Copies of this chain bind each other. A is one copy, B any other.
Amino acid sequence: MVQQQQSALGKRVRKADALERVVGEARYGADFSLPGVLYGKVLRSPHAHARIRRIDYSRALQLPGVVAVITAGDFRTGGAAANGHAVEGAYDPGHEEEHAGGGRPNASRVVFASAKALWAGQPIAAVAATSLQAAEAALGLIEVSYDALKIVETAEEAMQPDAPLLHSNLFTTTVGRTPEKPSNVATYIELARGDLERGFREADVVIEDTYRTRMVSQGYLEPRATLAKVDPDGKITVWSSSQGSFGIQQQLSEILDLPLHQVRVIPAEIGGGFGSKNQGILEPMAALLAMKTGRPVKMTMGRDEEFKAGRPGAPSSVFLKMGVKRDGAITAAQVRVVMDGGAFPGGPVGAATNLGLGHYRIPNVRIQGYDVVTNKPPVGAYRAPGVPQAVFATEQHMNRLAEAIGMDPLEFRLKNVAGEGDRLPNDAPLPRVGFRTTLETVKKHTLWSKRPSRPFQGRGIACGMWIGGLQPNSCFLKLNADGSLGLEVGTVDLTGVRTSFKQMVAGEFQLEPEDIIVTTLDTDTAPYASGSSGSKTTYTMGTAIKQASDSLKRILQERAAALLDLPKEQVAYRAGAFHSVSDPSRDVSLKDLGARGQAAGGGPILATGAAGTFKAAPSFAAHVVDVEVDPETGKVGILGYWAFQDCGFAVNPTLVEGQMQGGAAQGIGWALTEEYLFADGVVRNPTFLDYRMPTSLDLPAIEPTLVQVPNPESPYGIRGVGEVPIVPPMAAIANAVANATGVRITELPLSPERVFWAMHNK
C-alpha cells in the first residue's frame, strides 16, 4: 500500500472497470443465463392505433418447444398471479380500455396492449420457449384480430378538438382546474411572473418563432436484456441492465403485485442508458413468464425492437416570443412548449418549462407546457429530458435578439445571466452557481479571439442549465484486515462512479484508489441507492461517503488512542496511520487496526453513510462550435467544438470530460442527422444504418474546459455533470449555421437536405 500526500481526489485515475470491459469480462444484461433457461420473445402490434378483438395463441402453444404465452390477460386483475379471465390459448380483451396491469397505470404502460394497440411496436403477447428459434417461430402462429383506428401522428393533431382520443380515461393533469372530459393532453403546466404584456411593451425588439425537434434514440450500445427466475418460495430474482435496481424493483413490485422484499433485482453492467433505462421493459414480462413456467426466462431486444418499442427522446415544438431592449436587457419571454409523449403520458414538460430559460434573469415571463399523447412509441428520459428541446428554441432566439440589437451574443448573455438569488420560472431561487464564471471563461479562452472567417464558415454559441437530481444515496464502509477499505453501494455505474467513489474514499483516508474496493450490490443487499440519473450520483453519494468515512475514522481514532494509551484528542490521522500528535513516531497503521478488529477481542470496523436531504446544485454549460457549410450539398461540417462547463469540483477530470464530450457528441447527432421517420405510424428507419448517429469519423475533437465553482452543499464541491452537456449543442450548431449561411433553421435535424433548401429558398 503506497501512501501519498497528494489526494486521490481530482486525479485522472483510470476507470476501475476499464480492463474488465476491454477484455470482455464485464457481464452485461445478456451475459446471464441459468440451467433450464427459456427464451422469451415479444409479439408487437403492426398497427399504430387499433382495437384488439381477440388474441388466439392456441397454435403457438402447440409448437414444439413453446412452454407458455402471456398477454394482457395474465396481468388482468389482482396482479400477475391471477389469470382468471383469460382462457388458456386465447385472450379476449373485451371493451375495457386499459385494464392491463390490473389497473395499475405503471403496469399497463410497459406490459401488453389490452383493448387497444396504441403504437406500432407495442407488445401484444410474449412467448417463452426452449430455444430462441422456437420462440420466434411461435410469434408467427399467434393470431390477433385488429380493427385499425385513425392514427394520431403529431402533437398538433392530437390537440385538435376533434382528434381521436388515445385513452378514454386520460384527463389533463393541471393545477387549479378539474377537466370534465378526457383529452390527449396529459399534463398542462403554466409558470408566470411579472406582467408579460408590459414586458413586451417595454421591449425595443420582439421576435417570435416556433422551433421543432424530432423523436430521437438514446442510441445506447447495449440493447435491453434481462433474466428472471422464481425461487421455490415464490421470490422473483431479476438480472437487469438498468440505471437503478431499486427503481426496477419498485416497478416489478407494482406490476406483479408482490411486496418489495419478494422481488430481488441484481444489476448487470450497463452498456449505456442515458435515462431510457430508468424503466424496465422486458423485466416484467420475463418475470411473469418465469412465474408462469417455473423456469428461468431470458429476454433480449434487437436493435429494431429498441427503435420500435424503446423509450426514445420526445419530439417537441416550442413557440417562443421574447422582447429585448437596445441595451441588451431581456424584458419578457412567452414560451409554449408542446412535448409529444408518444402513446402514454411522459413527455418531459416539467424541466422544459422551468429550465429552458432558467439561466437568464427575465422579469416578465409566461410559460405554458403541454404533454400530449400520440400514436408513437412512448418516450422516456433522454439526458436532461426536455431541456435540449426547449433550449434549441431559446438559445437560437438569444442569438437572434443579440443580432437584432447589434450586440455580441456572448456579451448579450453575460448581460442577462442569472445568478445566486435569481429565481427560476417555478420561483425556486438559484443557489451559488457558476454560469457567469463559465461565460467569462469562454470569453477569456483563446478561441474567442480567433473566429472562422472563410465563406460559409460560421461560429455559434449556446448555453444551458440542468438543475440536478436530489434523491438519497447511501453506503456501507468497512476496514479490511490488510488496511484496505470496502465500500458497498447499490449504485449502477453508468458514468464511472465506482472510480469516483474509490477516489473519494481514497482521498478521505489519503490512500491510493487501488486500496479501495467498491462493489455494487443488489436490492436485497445494497444500502439504498436512487437510480443513476438526474446528474446527482457523485454529489449525493459523495455526501454519504464523507459521512461514512468520518464515522469510520471516529471509531478508528478511539481504537488507536486506546492502543497508544493516549486520549483520543491526542491522536491524529495521516496517510494510513494514526499517530500521537506530540510524538508522530508513535503510530498505529490502518492495517494493524483492521487486523486487530478481526481478531478475538477486537471487533470489525464498520460504518454507514446515508444522505437524504440535499439542496439543488445546478450546473451550467456553454458550448461554442465552428462550422463550414457545403453550399452545394447543405452538409454541415464541424470545424471545432469547445465545451465549457461548471462541474463544481471534478473528482476525476477525465470522467467529467468524458461526459462533456459524450453529451456534445449526442447533441451533434440530434443537430445534424438523427430523427425517427414514420410512415402510417410505423418507424421506417429502425436500424443504425438508417437512423444516422454520428460515428467517430463524423465528430470533431470536442475540447472540454472545466470550470469549478464549488457547490457549497457538497463536502467536495461536486455538481452533477452528466446531463447539461447535451443541452447546448443543437442551438449552438443552428447558430453557427445561421452565422455561416445567413439562414435561420428552426427545425431539427439540420440535415444536408434541409440546409440546402433553406439556403436555396433564401
Give the docked Cα–Cα distance between A472 and B601 (Å).
Answer: 7
Expressed in whole angstroms, the minimum distance between the Cβ of A519 and any Cβ of chain B is 5
B261 touches A604 (CB 8 A): no
In the complex, which of the residues A231, A232, A246, A515 has the most CB atoms of chain B within 10 Å of its own CB atom?
A232
A20-44, CB < 8 A from B = 20, 22-23, 25
Question: When each residue 570-611 of chain A gets 1 if its CB lies under 8 Å from chain B and 0 otherwise, what string results?
Answer: 000000000000000000000000000111111111111011
- State whether A525 and B515 are in contact (beta carbons under 8 Å apart), knowing that A19-B232, A22-B232, A603-B472 are contacts in the complex: no
CA distance A702 to B557 in the complex (A): 52
Complex contacts, A260 vs chain B, CB 8 Å: 480-482, 484
Closest to A603 in B: B612
- The answer to whether A481 and B604 have CB atoms under 8 Å apart is no
Instruction: Please give the distance in Å from A223's CB to the nearest CB on chain B.
Output: 21
A645 within 8 A of B: no
| CB-defined contacts of A521 to chain B, threshold 8 Å | 521, 525
Q: Pick the contact of A486: B22, B525, B602 (CB < 8 A).
A: B525
Q: In the bound complex, do residue A1 and residue B612 qualify as a contact, i.e. CB atoms below 8 Å apart?
A: no
Interface string of A326-370 (1 = CB under 8 A from B): 000000000000000000000000000000000000000000000
**What's the least CB distance linking A704 to chain B, in Å?**
27
A475-493 interface mask toward B, CB cutoff 8 Å, 1 = contact, 0 = none? 0101011101010100000
Among B20, B246, B250, B610, contact of A606 (Cβ-Cβ < 8 Å): B610
- In the complex, A239 has a CB within 8 A of chain B: no
In the complex, which residue of chain B has the Cβ closest to the Cβ of A19? B232
Q: Collect the chain B residues with CB atoms within 8 Å of residue A610's CB.
A: 597, 603-606
A659 at the interface (CB under 8 A from B): no
- When distances are taken between beta carbons in the complex, the residues of chain B under 8 Å from A484 are 259-261
Q: Which of B517, B597, B602, B607 has a CB less than 8 Å from the CB of A261?
A: B517
Whether, in the assembled complex, A180 has its beta carbon less than 8 Å from a beta carbon of chain B, the answer is no
Q: Which residues on B sit within 8 Å (CB–CB) of A598?
A: 246, 472, 528, 530
**Which of B231, B246, B612 has a CB less than 8 Å from the CB of A25?**
B231
A712 → B minimal CB distance (Å): 19
B-side contacts of A232, CB under 8 Å: 19-20, 22-23, 25
Interface residues in A251-297 by Cβ distance below 8 A to B read 253, 259-261
List B contacts of A246 (CB < 8 A). Answer: 481, 598
A-B CB contact pairs (8 Å), 25 listed: A1-B259, A23-B232, A250-B481, A260-B480, A260-B484, A261-B515, A470-B600, A472-B599, A473-B604, A474-B603, A474-B604, A474-B606, A476-B606, A481-B528, A488-B525, A519-B524, A525-B525, A528-B604, A597-B610, A601-B612, A601-B613, A602-B612, A602-B613, A603-B610, A603-B611
Name, among A246, A474, A603, A604, the residue most crowded by chain B CB atoms within 10 Å (CB to CB): A604
CA gap between A253 and B483 in the complex, in Å: 14
Residue on B nearest A20 in the bound complex, by CB:
B232
| Interface membership of chain A positions 512-529, coded 1 if the CB is closer than 8 angstroms to chain B and 0 otherwise | 000101010100110110
CB-CB under 8 A from A7, the residues of chain B are none
Interface positions of A from 364 to 411, Cβ below 8 Å from B: none
Verify B472–A606 contact, CB threshold 8 A: no
Asked whether, in the complex, the Cβ of B482 is within 8 Å of the Cβ of A259, the reply is yes
- When C-beta atoms are compared, the residue in chain B nearest to A230 turns out to be B25
Interface centre among A23, A260, A521, A603 (most CB of B within 10 A): A603
A472 engages B600 (CB within 8 Å):
yes
Is A632 an interface residue when CB atoms closer than 8 A count as contact? no
Determine if A58 is an interface residue (Cβ-Cβ < 8 Å). no
Residues on B with C-beta less than 8 A from A250 are 481
> Does A233 lie at the interface of the complex (its beta carbon under 8 Å from any beta carbon of B)?
yes
Does chain B have a CB within 8 A of A471? Answer: yes
Known pairs A253-B482, A472-B603. 20 more at Cβ < 8 A? A1-B259, A19-B232, A20-B233, A261-B482, A470-B601, A472-B602, A474-B604, A476-B476, A476-B488, A476-B527, A476-B608, A478-B528, A486-B524, A525-B525, A527-B606, A528-B597, A602-B613, A603-B610, A603-B612, A606-B610
Contact between chains at B611 and A608 (CB < 8 Å): no
Cα separation A608 to B233 with both chains bound (whole Å): 28
CA distance A280 to B252 in the complex (A): 40
A28 CB, min distance to chain B CBs, angstroms: 14
Cα–Cα, bound, A473→B515 (Å): 23
Which residues of A, 73-132, contact B by the 8 Å Cβ criterion? Answer: none
